[in-house]
Structure 1
Amino acid sequence: MANAMAAIEPALRAAVDRLPETERAIAGYQFCWWDEHGRPTPGRGGKGLRPALVLSSTAAAGVTAEHAIGAAVSVELVHNFSLLHDDIMDGDVLRRGRPSAWAVYGQKATLLAGDALLVLAMDVLAETSGPRAPSAIRSLCQTLLELAKGQSQDIAFEKRPDVELLECLTMAGRKTASLTRYACSIGPSIAGIDSRTVQHLQDFGYHLGLAFQLMDDLIGIWGNEKRTGKPVGSDLLARKKTLPVVAALASSDGARARLAELYASPAPLTPSDVRAVIGLIERLGGRAWTEAEMRRQLDAALSSLDAANLDPAAADELAEMASMAVRRDH
Structure 2
Amino acid sequence: MTATEAPAPPTGAAEPPGAAPPAGDAPRPLGTAFQAEHLALFEPALSAAVHRLPAAVRRVAGYHLGWWDEHERPLFGPDTTDEAASIRPALALLCGEAAGGDAAAALPAAVAVELVHHFTLLHDDIIDGGGTRRRRPAAWTVFGTAQALLTGDSLMVAAMDVLAAGPRDIAPRALHDLAAGLQDLGAGRGAELRLAAAPAPTPDDCREVIAGKTASLLGCACSLGTMFGGGSAGRVRLMRMFGERLGHASHLADDMLGLWGDPRGTGGAVHRDLARRKRSLPVVAALASGTAAGRELAAAFETGAEFSPAVLAHLAGLVERTGARRLAADAAAEHLAAAAACLDAADPPPGPAAALRAVIGRVAARIP
TM-based fold match above 0.5: yes
Q: CA deviation at 1:280?
A: 2.0
The CA distance in 2 between the partners of 1:5 and 1:176, in whole Å, is 23
* Displacement after TM superposition at 1:305 (Å): 0.7
Alpha-carbon distance in 1 for matches of 2:129, 2:274: 12
Classify the secondary structure of the residue corresponding to 1:314.
Answer: helix
Distance in 2 separating the partners of 1:90 and 1:259: 24
Q: 1:85 to 1:233 in 2, by over 3 A?
A: farther
- 1:117 deviation in Å? 0.7
Match of 1:219 in 2: 257
Residue of structure 2 equivalent to 1:26: 60
Contact 2:99 2:229 in 1 (8 A): no
Asked if the contact 1:96–1:230 (Cα under 8 Å) also holds between the matched residues in 2, the reply is no
How many pairs are equivalent? 329
Residue 256 of structure 1 corresponds to which residue in structure 2?
294
Counterpart check, 1:202 vs 2:236: no
Deviation of 1:102 after TM superposition, in Å, equals: 2.8
- The alpha carbon displacement at 1:20 in A equals 2.2
Deviates more, 1:222-231 or 1:80-89: 222-231
Aligned in 2, Cα 1:231/1:111: closer, same or farther, shift over 3 Å? farther
C-alpha contact (below 8 Å) 2:195/2:205 kept by paired residues: no
1:183 partnered with 2:217: no
SS at match of 2:165: helix
1:270-285 matches, cutoff 5 A:
270-271=307-308, 274-285=312-323
**Letter matched to residue 51 of structure 2:** D
TM-superposed CA distance for 1:101, in Å, is 2.5
Specify which of 84, 88, 94 is matched with residue 126 of structure 2. 88
Deviations 1:37-87 (A, max 9, x none): 322224435621101100001101111221111111111100111112222
Residue 72 of structure 1 is aligned with which of 110, 126, 132? 110
Give the corresponding residue for 1:318. Answer: 356
Shift in CA distance, 18/176, structure 1 to aligned 2, threshold 3 Å: same
Q: Which has the higher helix share?
A: 1
Q: What amino acid maps onto 2:110 in structure 1?
A: A
How far is 1:227 from its partner?
4.0
C-alpha displacement of 1:226: 5.5
Alignment of 1:216-255 (within 5 A): 216-225=254-263, 227-230=265-268, 235-255=273-293
The CA distance in 2 between the partners of 1:163 and 1:328, in whole Å, is: 26
The CA distance in 2 between the partners of 1:288 and 1:329, in whole Å, is 11
Structure 1 residues 171, 319: CA separation in 2 closer, same or farther (over 3 Å shift)? same
- Cα distance change on mapping 1:327 and 1:25 into 2, 3 Å: farther
Contact 2:252 2:281 in 1 (8 A): yes
Cα distance in 1 for partners of 2:217, 2:340 equals 18
Partner SS for 1:48: helix
- Distance in 2 (CA, whole Å) between partners of 1:105 and 1:26 is 7
Q: Is the 8 A contact 1:81 1:115 kept in 2?
A: yes
Do the aligned partners of residues 325 and 105 (structure 1) sit closer, same or farther apart at CA in structure 2, a change above 3 Å counting?
farther
Deviates more, 1:254-263 or 1:147-156: 254-263
Contact 2:329 2:367 in 1 (8 A): no
Q: 1:95 touches 1:230 (CA, 8 Å); kept in 2?
A: no
**1:311, CA displacement in angstroms?**
0.7
Query: Residue 256 of structure 2 contacts residue 367 of structure 2 at CA under 8 Å; is this kept in 1?
Result: no
Report if the CA contact (8 A) 1:59-1:65 is conserved: yes
Instruction: Kindly provide the amino acid, as one letter, of the partner of residue 17 in structure 1.
Output: H
Q: CA deviation at 1:181?
A: 0.5
Q: Distance in 1 between matches of 2:269 and 2:166?
A: 36
Distance of 1:90 and 1:141 partners within structure 2 = 24
Contact preservation (8 Å) 1:161, 1:264:
no
Cα distance in structure 2, aligned partners of 1:194 and 1:294: 28
Query: Counterparts of 2:56 and 2:262 in 1: how far apart (Å)?
Result: 33
Choose from 317, 326, 340 the match for 1:302: 340
Shift of 1:218: 1.5
The question of whether the paired residues in 1 share the 8 Å contact of 2:191 and 2:208 is answered with no
Q: Spell out the pairing of 1:128-139 with structure 2 (5 A cutoff).
A: 128-139=166-177
Counterpart Cα distance in 2 of 1:216 and 1:185: 23
The amino acid of 2:308's aligned partner reads P
Counterpart position of 1:8: 42
Q: Which residue matches 1:288?
A: 326
Which shows bigger deviation, 235-244 or 140-149? 235-244
Comparing 7-16 with 288-297, which one deviates more in the overlay? 288-297
Q: Confirm or deny: 8 A CA contact 2:100 2:229 kept in the other structure.
A: no
Give yes or no for contact 1:95–1:229 (8 Å, CA) kept in 2: no
8 Å contact from structure 1 (residues 74, 125) kept in 2: yes
In structure 2, relative to structure 1, the CA distance for the partners of 1:268 and 1:274 (3 Å cut) is same
Return the alpha-carbon distance in structure 2 between the equivalents of residues 203 and 156 of structure 1.
Answer: 26
1:17 maps to which residue?
51
Deviation at 1:326, TM superposition (A): 4.2
What is the Cα deviation at residue 223 of structure 1?
3.2
Choose 100-109 or 17-26, whichever is displaced more.
100-109
Percent identity between matched residues is 41
Q: Name the CA distance, whole Å, in 1 between partners of 2:60 and 2:364.
A: 29
Q: Is the 8 A contact 1:58 1:65 kept in 2?
A: yes
